[in-house]
């Protein structure tokens, strides 16, 4: 039976609605990549300034953070490998930093733990259960110290693939420790995300391993993402995480240049890092949400020493690195050091000089959106 043709009064509005829907969809599709990348948060780290006992130095840090529209400030709490609770003085400084960040710059803290527990040891430190227990208690005390204050994320460990931070012959024990930290943070502040990783970018010297290789060994999988063995410890090697943090410094190449070594996770190798994380998630070694939630928690170009990058080039590279990270849908991008820390410090990568004079990198950083 033939249906009657629809009346012109009914078809005209429908055609107009369909046309509008098609245009909206097309515009939405064109805008989607930009909209997603625009959500990348800008971060800054300078513990010397943010933790300073000098109110004027702290004020200059927060003025700069506000001027640059920084919304994340990374800080590190020192741990000696045995301490079970954060000392009251450090807790007070941490709380003050969170309050000043909120009130003066509208920024929240990324809180990590700095613990060079394997530094200057002729033989690797043995990671015992008592050390892991102490770390879990310490992490919980850090979270407790932040009660009622805004925190962007907690971070479990700094650069485990770097020899001074972790004995490289015990990567699976790092997974155990990181998971203990995750559980401790979540027990106290369940709504705050916990990031893991904070991998050093590459094996520039014998003091580090490339992060891709380190992570596969830590999670007990082969290069084909199959279990290395059927042992209970191998099957249990799974990371608990809400997101993954990377350090992507590269002082020898432009930020978009890929290295032939896929396991080196410099800025140019971000695509390799993200593919690796997603493959590990598909293999059941970490949550899929963490593999998609990637943060660059340290990036910089040095201003002194043999690895120095000329300022004009560093400014150009910084803009390229920011745009590249946005295209890869990185969630936050943190520059390491607002000011050079001065003589006697090995690492200097300030956007400003020690005395506060502006560099081209600062002007670039301030304008990044």
pLDDT tens figures, 135-146: 999 999 999 999
Residue 214 reports pLDDT greater than 60: yes
As a whole number of angstroms, the distance between CA 69 and CA 53 comes to: 24
Which of 21-35, 145-159, 195-209 has the lowest average pLDDT?
A: 21-35
How would you classify residue 339: left for phi > 0, otherwise alpha for psi between -120 and 50, otherwise beta?
beta
What is the pLDDT, as a whole number, of residue 205? 76
DSSP 189-250: -TTS-EEEEEE-S--SSTTB--HHHHHHHHTTB-TTS-BS---HHHHT-----SEEEEE---
**C-alpha distances out from residue 78 to 15, 23, 138, Å:** 65, 54, 10
36-81 confidence digits (pLDDT tens): 445 899 999 999 999 999 999 999 999 999 999 999 999 999 999 9
What is the pLDDT, as a whole number, of residue 43? 98
Distant-in-sequence, close-in-space partners of 291: CB < 8 Å, separation ≥ 6: 244, 274, 277, 278, 280, 281
Tokens 């090697």 found at: 237
The residue-averaged pLDDT of 195-200 equals 97
Joined together, the tokens standing for residue 197 give 């990783």
**C-alpha distances out from residue 22 to 2, 6, 18, 27, 121, Å:** 30, 22, 6, 9, 65
DSSP 133-162: HHHHHHHHHHHHHTTTS-EEEEE--S-TTB
As a whole number of angstroms, the distance between CA 325 and CA 139 comes to: 30
What is the pLDDT, as a whole number, of residue 149? 98
Q: What are phi and psi of 245, to 5 degrees?
A: -115, 140
What is the pLDDT, as a whole number, of residue 38? 52
pTM of the full structure:
0.89
Helices (H) and strands (E) in the chain, counts: 12, 8
Distant-in-sequence, close-in-space partners of 345: CB < 8 Å, separation ≥ 6: none
Tokens 């990036």 found at: 299
* Average pLDDT in the chain: 92
Q: H-helix or E-strand containing 290?
A: helix 288-292
The residue-averaged pLDDT of 274-278 equals 98
Nearest Cα residue to 34 out of 337, 356, 327, 284: 327
172-196 confidence digits (pLDDT tens): 999 999 999 999 999 999 999 999 9
* Terminal Cα distance for the chain, rounded: 61
CA 78 to chain centre: 18
The residue-averaged pLDDT of 310-333 equals 98
What is the pLDDT, as a whole number, of residue 25? 41
Residue 3 reports pLDDT greater than 70: no
Residue 171 reports pLDDT greater than 50: yes
Residue 26 reports pLDDT greater than 60: no
Tokens 């995750």 found at: 182
Exposure string of 194-212, with b = 16+ CB inside 10 Å and e = fewer, is: bbbbbbbbbbeeeebbbbb
As a whole number of angstroms, the distance between CA 137 and CA 192 comes to: 17
What is the pLDDT, as a whole number, of residue 222? 97
243-262 confidence digits (pLDDT tens): 999 999 999 999 999 999 99
């Amino acid at each position: 039976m033939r249906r009657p043709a629809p009346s012109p009064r009914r078809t005209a509005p429908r055609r107009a609605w369909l046309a509008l829907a098609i245009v909206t969809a097309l515009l939405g599709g064109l805008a989607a990549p930009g909209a997603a990348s625009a959500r990348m948060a800008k971060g800054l780290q300078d513990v010397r300034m943010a933790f300073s006992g000098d109110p004027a130095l702290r004020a200059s840090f927060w003025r700069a953070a506000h001027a640059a529209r920084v919304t994340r400030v990374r800080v590190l709490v020192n741990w000696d490998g045995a301490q079970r609770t954060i000392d009251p003085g450090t807790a007070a400084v941490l709380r003050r930093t969170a309050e000043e960040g909120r009130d003066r710059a509208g920024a929240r803290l990324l809180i990590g733990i700095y613990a060079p527990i394997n530094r200057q040891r002729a033989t690797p430190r043995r990671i015992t259960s008592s050390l892991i227990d102490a770390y879990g208690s310490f992490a919980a005390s850090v979270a407790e110290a932040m009660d009622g204050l805004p925190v962007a994320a907690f971070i479990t460990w700094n650069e485990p693939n770097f020899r001074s931070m972790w004995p490289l012959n015990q990567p699976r024990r790092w997974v155990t420790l990181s998971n203990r930290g995750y559980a401790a943070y979540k027990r106290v502040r369940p709504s705050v995300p916990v990031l893991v990783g904070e991998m050093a970018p590459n094996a520039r010297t014998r003091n580090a391993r490339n992060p891709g290789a380190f992570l596969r060994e830590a999670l007990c999988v082969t290069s084909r993402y199959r279990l290395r063995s059927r042992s209970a410890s191998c099957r249990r090697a799974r990371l608990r995480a809400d997101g993954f943090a990377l350090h992507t410094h590269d002082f020898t190449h432009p930020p978009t240049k890929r290295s032939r070594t896929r396991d080196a996770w410099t800025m140019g190798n971000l695509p390799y890092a993200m593919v690796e994380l997603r493959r590990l998630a598909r293999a059941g070694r970490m949550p899929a949400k963490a593999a998609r939630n990637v943060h660059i928690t340290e990036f910089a170009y040095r201003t002194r020493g043999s690895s120095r990058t000329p300022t004009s080039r560093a400014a150009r590279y910084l803009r390229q690195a920011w745009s590249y990270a946005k295209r890869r849908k990185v969630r936050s991008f943190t520059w390491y050091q607002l000011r050079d820390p001065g003589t006697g410090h090995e690492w200097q990568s300030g956007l400003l000089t020690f005395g506060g004079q502006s560099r081209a990198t600062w002007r670039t950083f301030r304008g990044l959106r």
